Structure 1
Amino acid sequence: MKTNILNIFRTLLLVAISWSTSFAQDGKSGGTKVSGSLSNEQGKPMDYATVSLLRATDSTVVKGALSNDNGVYTFDRINAGKYIVKATAVGYEKAATKPFVVSENTATVAAPALSMKAGNTTLNTVTITAAKPLIERKIDRTVMNVENSVLAAGNTAMEILAKAPGVTVDKDDNISLKGKQGVTVMINDKLTYLTAAQLATLLRSTDGNTIKSIEIITNPSAKYDAAGNSGIINIKLKKNSQSGTNGSVTVGVAKGKFWRDNSSLNLNHKSGKLNVFATLSRGDNKRDRDINIDRITRDSLGKPSYFNQLTKMQPTNHYNNYRVGADYDMTSRNTIGFVVSGYSNSWLDSNNGKTNISAAPNQVDSSLTTVSTINQTYKNFAANLNDKFKIDTSGQELSIDLDYSKFKNNSIAQYDTHYFLPDGSPQHAPQLLRNQTPSNITIYTGKVDYTKPLSKTVKFETGAKFSSVKTDNDLQAQIFDGNTYINDTTRTNRFIYTEKITAGYLNLNKQFKKTSVQLGVRAEYTQSNGNLMGSTSVDRSYLNFFPSVFINHTLNDKNEISFSYSRRIDRPGYDDLNPFIYYLDPYTFSKGNAFLKPQYTNNFEFNFTHNKSLNISLGYSRTTDVITEIILTEGQKSFQTSLNLQTQNSYSLNIDAPFTITKWWTGNININSFYLGFKSDSVGTGRLSDGQVTVQAKTTQTFTFGSYRFEIMGDYQSPLTYGIYKIKPRYGVDAGLSHSFANKKVNIKLAVDDVFNIRRNNVSSHTLGNDFDIRQRSDSRVGRLTFTYNFGNSKIKSREHRSGADDEKGRVKGGN
């Protein structure tokens, strides 16, 4: 089994490489395509068998592959010679073809068909299939195969994402990749068009049991939207893809400080030309979180004031998500489909904070308490209509996507602040505030993609996309005047933001004998307007070009190198542009910045892959006008906002190494070391020039004993500097156990996050007039029990589809 697992892992990488670099080459420059088929004794296709192409003269392995659902396998770019095909599958005897010849100037060769006989290792007619590794390295991305992972059971998408290689999630749910923020998050290849806060809400409300895999793309091609300076994270949701009627039911409970629950239903029906699918999920999550802030402010004469703030938070999230769609084969070459999805979610924040204020340490001159309740509702409806037309058998294709999304969010908040003298008696009348913040976001997108092979070694891709986004945020603020609540004119306002992006791209792929080259360019024309009604209006329009270069070279059978370059953009999030003021207490608040500019990044990456498994990458990027969260002071008040700093330079070294120790012990080690340097000559009233080398390490180990599977994951991050923040080390251990029975139709998973209860998010800053330390403790140790029942047929796969609207949704504040 050890050899089988290694072959499967290596073959998966080979399949990804072949898919991305082979374009029906001729025999002279691109080699010959060798294909064949596998079946069992009953004549049924052998899917996911490990297939190897060997030289007939010395049995040297030339290439590996996996058979698909129809038992078909393919090897690309094969030189002239005499070969043998061997196939292995757990529960079956090995099989091999007779030697056959590949001649020069031959485009395709059909290998002799193979029939595999059941071996004596088949137990009780249960077919044993090899699982994909949890962490899988492909030529252009890293894939975290969540679907069968024990650690994913009962977790939300955000919690799973935090376990992915090179990914970190900070105390405010900001997502970083290899230390850099500016990550674009896609769901099923679609942008989410959400603000950072809304995206965090969406991910925290997405049931991990509905996720198939997470793809990490650090340097995307011109075909993707140019947004995201550190790359793209693509969350692939499960889509039952089998003939007949089938699906799965999942029910889970979890216990941290409070009980949580989740459940989901996946359904699929495929009959003839029609495939219908649906996913429904719901859940309740109540958490506990303590934040302790010690800060010092100074007046114009340098006189200090000391603040000690302790806030206890108990957020409660209830979510209901749905996704329904259908695909219909109009002809053998034309498939149309639609997907309707949405959610109706609620979020309740109950916060209780106390602040002690003094002119000297370790004393209390006055204090205040702020009790706040924030009721938030999030509703979304999204529709996608798509058409994919295979124009001919050479690979010429045309696909069209039309998308519509509507978000309706509302927040009702109450802030009651009471002031006290040192003896505990009231200092003066309390301040009572309340807000209502309805928010509406409407998104329209349309895109078309066209692919045409120009020859057996050259492929041309082009496409266009248009998106229109409108956000309308209306802050209705009131203050208690002693008798009743009246309008607070200092805070009430309405902010409307519109954005239109027109884009087009060109990609040209050329395959040489051992080298593949892709050149691309994307153009995006942006028109935006941010209007704080009655106050500030900011209009912008700009045209940008985003070139990209990808070169992959095979050194020999075991070693490959690649180089990539791309230019990217990050536009400010909708919340970051909104100049509203949001209060935590009278001395602490946040506000947006309507004058934020987009940031631009040039990314360079070099990769070395050994034996289709070990991957080492070196990266460098330079970002200008980098959008960075900053805390500034105004007298005794501190506020959080975002500014454009001059530059950010990033250097990174990433090592990813899957391993197999025995047939029952496999794993993956990921080490990511990077340096982030920030520089700006003018930030508030000071200058900023700071950076630090940081090391992140994650290891996952899987132990398989029959129908039992045990996984353990450990992670560590050394101290990190990000802008003005000094982030303390973070580390923790997760573990889980799963058991399958009833012919693998039933699975039970037991997992514990943060086994030793040691994960913390501690931050400090002592620059630009700041002097504060933040200590945060969350409800991180959580035990989870998850039950899954699979029913129905399990053979024919259906089409997975990516729509055009997912790129914009990631900038909206989401309710999922």
Structure 2
Amino acid sequence: MKTCHNKASLKLATGTLLPIILLIFFVTFQTLCYAQMNGNISGKIVDPGGAPIEYISVGLLYEDGKILKGVLSDSTGKFSFSAIPDGKYLVKISGVSYHPLTTEILVISIENRKLDLGLLKLKEDSKLLNAVVISAQKKLIEQTIDKTIINVENSILSEGNTALELLEKAPGVKVGEDGQISLKGRSGVLVMINGKSTYLSPKELSTLLKGTNSSSISKIEIMNNPSAKYDAAGNGGIINIQMKKNMKTGLNGSVSLNGGASRNARYGSALDLNYRNNKVNIYGSYDYGYRGETEYLDFVRRFYDSGNSGSIPNRTSYQDTETDEPLHTNNFRVGLDYDLDSSNTIGFLINGNVGKYTHDSKTGNRLIAADGTMISHMATTNYDQQSWKNLTYNVNYLHKFKKEGRTFSADADFASNSFTSNLNLKTTTLQSTDGQAGATTSRRGYVPAITDVYLAKVDYTDPLSKTIKLESGLKSSVIQSDNNLRYDILNNGNWEYDNNGSNHFKYKEQIHAGYININKDFKGFSVQAGLRGEYTKTQGHQITTDSLLTRSYFQLFPSIFINKPIGANHQIQAAYSRRIERPDYGDLNPFRVFRDPLLFYQGNPFLKPELINTFQLSHSFKGKYTTAINYNQTTDVITWLSGQIDSLNTTFESPQNLSRLINYGISFTASTTFFNWWNGTHFANVFRNEYKGNVQNNTFNNNTTSFSFNSQNSFKAGKGYTMELSGFYYSGSVYGISTYKGSYAISTGVQKTILQDKGNIKLMVNDIFQSDRYREQTKYQNIDMYTNKRPDSRRIMLSISYRFGNQNQDNKDRRTGSEDIQNRVKGGG
């Protein structure tokens, strides 16, 4: 029995903190200088029932009625005007279905630079309500100071796609060949669904996202630098996928169908129903999707008896693989919210994702000697039937105090996740020379992975004054995973248990956390400071070898954000946060998973968590153009590295801790309106990654400067027609000891509203030139390999959707307070 106990403590790099301390000091100094030059007017807009009205126009006018500036209220009905010079003003609010509201004259002066107008209640215009129903559509991409929001349900190009394919189009996001997700060149992104961590291994998360249809997604939120309120996991930031939830009153719903083809057929359907009255909201949705896909892989490996890849290879392996990957998915959601009274709400929710996936590949592998003669020729079939079932049960409670904005919420969740893999691997050695006899080896595997997640969480929010807001909370999660891998080998017509390949691994993890956030508005600037503490205890039990690995550690994760408006059009933010990326169960489990007899993957039970300190300075101009400079340093960075056994012509991959990764760069986001009929959002990012570490007892540095660009454009063509054009480009990049080539893709689509604007038809073509591919080069010591993967990315899809029932919007909202359960369920397949 082996036991390892490790306690980690807070480590901050002094050398990297000094520049940011000076930067924050500079920004704060500038803030104090400008403080007396800025006025502020804010308020909250509500309907006759007191519910907030979101995204309604608010104008700031001079005393004579001329417009100074305008904004939209946010999702809570709040609005704010900053950097207002001394003078007399009016605030005018106008929106469809409401009578316009204009305030009395407001005075900004040295004695009164901050005006809070409180609740501004609008009256409904019954004539407009009865005459016509007009729906406002949000922009495809919205850029705020702390996040990028992609309104998926507004996009033509989202039709017929999966959640993983949608992420490929998101600004700054890159999806690797095996589903690894990076953000601005940083890996270790925490993916959340409805604000809940999935606790899945990267491969299981990739499968889940492939099984989540775009028709059920409302929006995607991208947070590069989250606050202490969120889980500290996710060194690359957080991506939150928000599913649709109908908030309209009465009985209503929608139905949609889609179909098309890539190299194979794709089709799907979705149904959404909702009933809401003054007390009860009952909602449910279901969608089904089938995605046929065929991809091609070329893999070249060179082997050196000298152990040095700089010499002439003694043998070269040429491998080509064709894989069919049909995927069937079923997603459903059933919920009930009940208002006990005006202050208390209780809710119940069940989320489900059930599906099956088949990996059916045929591989040819030719091993050629240096003189050109064939050493061996193998043909391998890999047939892997996978199925999964993810069920999450939630009960939630919300209490609203009499004091405006003070709330308490509590959640309890149980998530049951099961993945099963039935693998059949058959390799036939073909006759490569005269007189050589062929041979066949067969291996089968059964890989059940069961993960249960228990979570409890409470949150408290209190606006202590007009300028100070307190947020705090506690959260505990317990994860239990069981993976019992069994391999059998066919010997003389009989299946025999493989002692060397089989493995039984159990993993337990507890994380107990608490956080506090303080938001303070000063004259002319605002500060948010937070601190999160997390205690982690893990236990990995290798039952097969009877070894036990335990770890426990407590970490503090501070964060600070300083926002400073300068003049009427400029805003600066400085931010710092500390985060952690824990190794998941798939990384820790040392069992082997074979792609073919000469290639396998193996976990590492001795991995340590990686820690990151991230700094960002951003500038926003007119709310449309944002420039951000970021610097991030990660220690003990977890990276999958390749190894090679030349004598056996075998390659393997295993996760290792490298010394550090330094990532820094500059990004630019622009929201443009070239004409009234042309809106666009464009993102450009230049970054540098520098990996440093020790591999096979040798230090190495692998670094490069990379560039990415993403553009989303929407065109109004009249008569109900809308068109979209999007594209992205990624230059070469590095990961660990590997280098990746660049890629790009261009997609387009058109939409037509029908049936009195209650329905629409969409046609889209994704990756028109089929240029999105993954090309990887690894050359280090005796490792010399090249991979070229051509996914099934070009596809054409046609969809039709229809909304029925009452379509009047009710702004009353209730989401579960535990919106951060389920990214690391530690699976192993």
Report the TM-score, using the length of structure 1 for normalisation. 0.90
Aligned match of 2:703? 691
SS in 2 for 1:766: strand
Deviation at 1:556, TM superposition (A): 1.5
Residue matched to 1:560: 571
Secondary structure of residue in 1 paired with 2:765: strand
Cα distance in 1 for residues equivalent to 2:434 and 2:819: 55
8 Å CA contact 2:481–2:827 kept in 1: the answer is: no
Counterpart code for 2:680: G
Match of 2:487 among 467, 470, 477: 477
Residue in structure 1 matched with residue 687 of structure 2 by the alignment: 674
SS at match of 1:311: strand
Equivalent residue number for residue 323 of structure 1: 333
- Which residue is equivalent to 2:173? 167
1:234 and 2:240 are equivalent in the alignment: yes
Tell me: CA distance 1:451–1:810, structure 2 relative to 1, closer, same or farther (3 Å): same
How far apart in 2 are the matches of 1:95 and 1:382?
44
In structure 2, relative to structure 1, the CA distance for the partners of 1:301 and 1:166 (3 Å cut) is: closer
1:751-773 residue CA offsets vs partner (Å, 9 max, x unmatched):
01111122211111111421011
Matched, 1:799 2:813: yes
TM-aligned CA deviation for residue 429 of structure 1: 2.8
Alignment-derived partner of residue 202 in structure 1: 208
- Residue correspondence of structure 1 range 281-680 to structure 2 within 5 A: 281-299=287-305, 304-360=314-370, 362-423=372-433, 427-535=437-545, 536-635=547-646, 636-680=649-693
Asked whether the equivalents of residues 270 and 287 of structure 2 are also in contact (C-alpha less than 8 Å), the reply is yes
CA gap of 1:355–1:600, structure 2 versus 1, over 3 A, is same
Cross-structure match for 2:192: 186
> The residue matched to 2:604 in structure 1 has which SS?
coil
CA 255–492 in structure 1, closer or farther in 2 if over 3 Å, else same: same
1:158-202 C-alpha deviation (Å, 9 max, x unpaired): 111110000010111111100111000001111111000010001
The 1:268/1:508 distance shift into structure 2, 3 A limit, reads: same
User: Contact 1:186–1:810 at 8 Å: present in 2 too?
Assistant: no
| Residues 1:34 and 1:624: Cα distance change in structure 2 (over 3 Å) | closer
Q: Give the corresponding residue for 1:766.
A: 779
* Alpha-carbon distance between aligned partners in 2 of 1:383 and 1:98, rounded to the nearest angstrom: 47
**Distance of aligned partners of 1:95 and 1:808 in 2 relative to their CA distance in 1, 3 Å threshold:** closer
What amino acid is the match of 1:492? S
Aligned equivalents of 1:485, 1:400: Cα separation in 2: 52
Do the aligned partners of 2:224 and 2:237 also contact (CA within 8 Å) in 1? yes
Measured at CA, do residues 746 and 551 of structure 1 come closer, stay the same or move farther in structure 2, by a change above 3 Å? same
Q: 1:126 to 1:750 in 2, by over 3 A?
A: farther
Describe the superposition over 1:551-601 as per-residue Cα deviations: whole angstroms up to 9, x where unpaired: 101111110000110000000122111111011122111111111110000
Identical-residue share of aligned pairs (%): 35
CA 760–390 in structure 1, closer or farther in 2 if over 3 Å, else same: same
Task: Return the letter of the residue paired with 1:708.
Answer: Y
| Counterpart pick for 1:147 among 153, 164, 168 | 153
- Tell me how far 1:91 sits from its aligned partner: 11
Q: Which range is displaced more, 527-536 or 274-283? A: 527-536
- Per the TM alignment, residue 799 of structure 1 is displaced from its structure 2 partner at its CA by 2.1
CA-CA distance at 1:37 after TM superposition: 7.0
Judge conservation of contact 2:451–2:825 (CA < 8 Å) in 1. Answer: no
Q: Is the 8 A contact 2:431 2:438 kept in 1?
A: no
Partners of 1:563 and 1:616 lie apart in 2 by 12
Residue by residue, what CA displacement relative to the aligned partner does 1:634-684 show, whole Å, maximum 9, x if unpaired?
22211011100000000021100010011111111100111000001x212
Separation (CA, whole Å) in 2 of partners of 1:719 and 1:380: 36
| Structure-1 separation of matches of 2:125 and 2:56 | 10
| Count of aligned pairs | 778
Mapped to 1, the partners of 2:791 and 2:353 lie a distance apart of 26
For residue 717 of structure 2, what is the aligned residue in structure 1?
A: 705
Q: For structure 1, which runs of at least 5 residues remain unmatched after alignment? A: 1-26
Structure-2 separation of matches of 1:334 and 1:28: 43
Contact 2:164 2:206 survives alignment (8 Å): yes
SS in 1 for 2:783: coil
C-alpha separation in 2, matches of 1:309 and 1:139: 48
Tell me the CA shift for residue 740 of structure 1: 0.8
Deviations 1:484-530 (A, max 9, x none): 00101111110111100111111111111211101111111100011
Instruction: Pick one of 741, 746, 757 that aligns with 2:770.
Output: 757
Q: Greater CA deviation, 81-90 or 740-749?
A: 81-90
* CA contact 1:80–1:101 (8 Å) conserved in 2: no
Q: CA 1:331 to 1:356, structure 2 compared with 1: closer, same or farther past 3 Å?
A: same
Query: Which residues of 2 match residues 52-131 of structure 1 at below 5 A?
Result: 52-57=59-64, 59-66=66-73, 74-75=79-80, 82-87=88-93, 97=102, 100-102=105-107, 104=112, 107-108=116-117, 128-131=134-137
2:228 is equivalent to residue 222 of structure 1: yes
Aligned AA (2:818): G
CA 1:499–1:805 in structure 2 vs 1: closer, same or farther (change >3 Å)?
farther
Measured after TM superposition, the shift of residue 483 of structure 1 is 2.5
Measured in 2, the distance between the counterparts of 1:409 and 1:68 equals 37
**8 A Cα contact 1:348 1:374, kept in partner:** yes
CA distance in 2, matches of 1:376, 1:650: 36
Cα distance in 1, alignment partners of residues 121 and 107 from structure 2:
12
State the distance in 2 between where 1:814 and 1:83 align: 62
Give the distance between the partners of 1:651 and 1:756, measured in 2 at CA: 32
- Counterpart Cα distance in 2 of 1:208 and 1:301: 48
How far, CA to CA, are the matches of 1:370 and 1:382 in structure 2?
A: 38
Shift of the 332–297 alpha-carbon distance from structure 1 to 2, 3 Å rule, reads: same
Give 1:806 deviation, angstroms: 3.7
Q: Evaluate the alpha carbon distance shift between residue 766 and residue 791 of structure 1 in structure 2; reply closer, same or farther with a 3 A threshold.
A: same
Is the CA contact (8 Å cut-off) linking 1:564 and 1:605 kept in structure 2?
yes
Q: Distance in 2 between matches of 1:430 and 1:542?
A: 49
Counterpart secondary structure, 2:157: helix
TM-score (norm 2): 0.89
Partners of 1:131 and 1:808 in 2: CA distance: 31
Q: What letter is aligned with 1:505?
A: Y
Contact 2:374–2:432, Cα closer than 8 Å, also in 1? yes
- Whether the 8 Å CA contact 2:485–2:504 is kept in 1: the answer is yes
Where in structure 2 are there 5+ consecutive unaligned residues?
Answer: 1-35
1:89 Cα deviation after fit = 5.6
Instruction: From the superposition, tell whether residues 177 and 531 of structure 1 become closer, same or farther in structure 2 (CA, over 3 Å).
Output: same
CA shift for structure 1 position 381: 1.6
Alpha-carbon distance, 1:431 to partner: 0.9
Distance in 1 between residues matched to 2:135 and 2:120, nearest whole Å: 24
Native 8 Å contact 1:694 1:718 kept in 2: yes
Once the two structures are superposed, residues 48-91 of structure 1 have per-residue CA deviations (whole angstroms, 9 ceiling, x without a partner) of 5422121215725255234989xx77546788853233456689
| CA distance in structure 2 between the partners assigned to 1:588 and 1:798 by the alignment | 55
- Please state whether the residue corresponding to 1:160 is helix, strand or coil: helix
Please tell me whether the aligned partners of residues 100 and 111 of structure 1 are also in contact (alpha carbons under 8 angstroms).
Answer: no
For the residue of structure 2 that corresponds to 1:576, the secondary structure is helix
CA shift for structure 1 position 125: 6.6
Deviation of the 1:343 alpha carbon:
2.1
User: Quick one: which amino acid aligns to residue 562 of structure 1?
Assistant: Q
Distance 1:780 1:106, change over 3 A: closer
Amino acid at match of 1:144: I
Paired AA for residue 117 in structure 2: T
Measured on the aligned residues, the alpha-carbon RMSD in Å equals 2.8
